[in-house]
Chains A and B, each alone.
Chain A
């Protein structure tokens, strides 16, 4: 935090960061649901899994309240499991509703990526094949 103040990023860089943050926030629910696809994980495992990817790395302070919300929305199911003599851990997995939500979000995400990729792949001045614009 303090380094931001000492070394203010260039405006473009700031804008890029802001956009990235927004994007990350918007896709976080999909990221969590996708990570728990046919997997039962506890918080720390899930956090480490997400931290292995540059675009999905989040902190504990973001992850746990979000898991709590998804559980309240009945998209996730949580269960305390005690393995051997180590302390119990809370394991999360998708509910049927969570799987449906994941499918729905996946559809929207793929459509969005496809559309943006298409736009990126067809710069002007040539008209775009589909619309002729």
Chain B
């Protein structure tokens, strides 16, 4: 291969591996190395020696390894494998979505339970838990025309039960959110 061709091929390969740098930065790196190589060749020729492009390029090492050193600062820390960045990104957005939906779901359910307990205390007849369709469905309701109280399942025990569940859920949601926040 022609010396010049060999050098151009090296620089082209290097440029490809420098793709993560800004175009201006990559061009500057290439220009500097190009300038170095041709300076050396000229110096060799001025001394009446034949320039050996392969030997000169060997000093720079493999284009991929050389480029890796230039882009290392963009991937500080333990560099994830190629293509991993996208996965990390997805995982991050999932945790953010998970965090907020967890917060909404947890606190809302907790608030509903506390509200239920409060409502039962204020209007005991209108609020209750009933089994319907012969036990195939369970209804927690706030009714204008209540079912007969004797068919209700829990009666006033609904108050401590709903309060306890509501507070427990509130506490649990906080704990889960704290863990999720660390993972975000």
Contact = CB atoms under 8 A, between A and B. Distances in A.
Contacts of B36: 43-44, 47, 60, 64
Given A69-B73, A88-B35, A59 B60 contact: yes
Contacts of B69: 61, 65, 68
B61 A61 contact: yes
Interface of B is mostly: helix
B73 A59 contact: no
Interface residues of B, number: 20
Contacts of B39: 44, 87, 89
Given A60-B59, A60-B60, A61-B60, A68 B70 contact: yes
- Most A CB atoms within 10 A — which of B36, B38, B66? B36
Contacts of A69: 73
A90 interface: yes
Interface in A67-117: 68-69, 72, 87-90
Given A65-B70, A69-B73, A44 B40 contact: yes
Contacts of B65: 61
A57 to B, nearest CB: 11
B6 interface: no
B40 A59 contact: no
Contact of B35 (A59, A68, A90): A90
Contact of B38 (A43, A65, A72, A87): A87
Interface of A: 42-44, 47, 59-61, 64-65, 68-69, 72, 87-90
